[in-house]
């Protein structure tokens, strides 16, 4: 069976949950846990069966969880546009940084828009999507090449989950507040108490 390009993109969107399971494994399944630090579309590869695989672990760091102790990172690393603002501002690296980046990836896939502005008048994808969501314009967010060949409620849920992962200002959250709604549906678990020392 030959897929139309739009159908391939929908399959790709659905298969990105494979990448979320990969992040869950890095954060919760590995002992010690691993933070990828460079989750972006070019680091999520698709097999011939459209199974998503995380790639490029060159910036990843593993760490031993030490109760509720927090450590400061000496160097912020990652790709501009995908970089978690909390990590950038505080130098504190947690699993939330990967989750934020994954939210940006999902928005990029659904919209097929560049993450970073191409002109001075355009906005970062998060700000752009936030504006569109506030206006209730889900169809304006979705890549036009999909030719409305999608179930609006499913795509709306994907956008809603992505927005929850990255639009809120994470640095204003308390440690007891969950990191973005809907992460359990993306099969990403975030532990807010662990941070990584890059000393």
Q: What is the pLDDT of residues 98-137, one digit of tens each?
A: 989 988 988 888 888 888 877 777 788 888 888 888 888 8
- Per-residue pLDDT band at 151 (split at 50, 70, 90): low
**pLDDT mean across residues, the chain:** 72
Question: pLDDT digits over 11-63, tens only?
Answer: 555 556 788 889 989 988 998 889 999 999 999 988 888 788 899 999 998 87
Residue 126, pLDDT score: 87
Which ranges of 72-149 would DSSP assign to H, the alpha helix?
85-90, 95-111, 125-134, 138-141
- With 80 as the cut, is the pLDDT of residue 199 above it? no
CA 32/CA 73 separation, integer angstroms: 17
**Active centre residues (catalytic):** 38
pLDDT of the residue at 59: 92
* Mean per-residue pLDDT, 174-183: 38
Q: Domains in the chain and their CATH numbers? A: 5-172 (1.10.510.10)
pLDDT-based confidence at 182, cuts 50/70/90?
A: very low
pLDDT digits (tens, 9 = 90+) for 73-105: 658 899 999 999 888 888 888 888 898 998 898
Task: Choose between 26 and 151: higher pLDDT.
Answer: 26
Q: Which of 73, 99, 115 is nearest to 164 (CA)?
A: 99
Q: Check residue 124 and give its pLDDT.
A: 86
Size of the chain, expressed as the number of residues it contains: 199
Distance from C-alpha of 52 to C-alpha of 43, rounded to nearest angstrom: 10
- Looking at residue 68, its pLDDT comes to 55
């Amino acid at each position: 069976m030959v897929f139309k390009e739009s159908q391939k993109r929908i399959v790709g969107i659905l298969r990105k949950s494979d990448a979320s399971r990969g992040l869950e494994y890095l954060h919760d399944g590995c002992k010690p846990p691993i933070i990828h630090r460079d989750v972006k579309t070019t680091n999520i590869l698709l097999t011939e069966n459209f199974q998503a695989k995380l790639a490029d672990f060159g910036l990843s760091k593993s760490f031993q969880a030490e109760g509720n102790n927090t450590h400061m990172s000496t160097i912020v690393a990652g790709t501009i546009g995908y970089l978690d603002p909390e990590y950038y501002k505080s130098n504190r690296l947690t699993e939330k940084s990967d989750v934020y980046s994954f939210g940006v990836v999902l928005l990029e896939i659904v919209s097929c828009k560049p993450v970073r502005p191409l002109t001075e008048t355009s906005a970062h994808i998060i700000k752009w999507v936030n504006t569109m969501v506030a206006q209730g314009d889900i169809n304006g967010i979705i890549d036009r090449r999909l030719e409305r060949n999608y179930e609006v409620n499913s795509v709306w849920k994907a956008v809603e989950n992505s927005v929850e992962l990255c639009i809120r200002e994470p640095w204003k959250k308390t440690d007891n507040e969950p990191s973005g709604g809907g992460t359990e549906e993306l099969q990403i678990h975030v532990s807010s108490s662990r941070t990584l020392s890059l000393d």
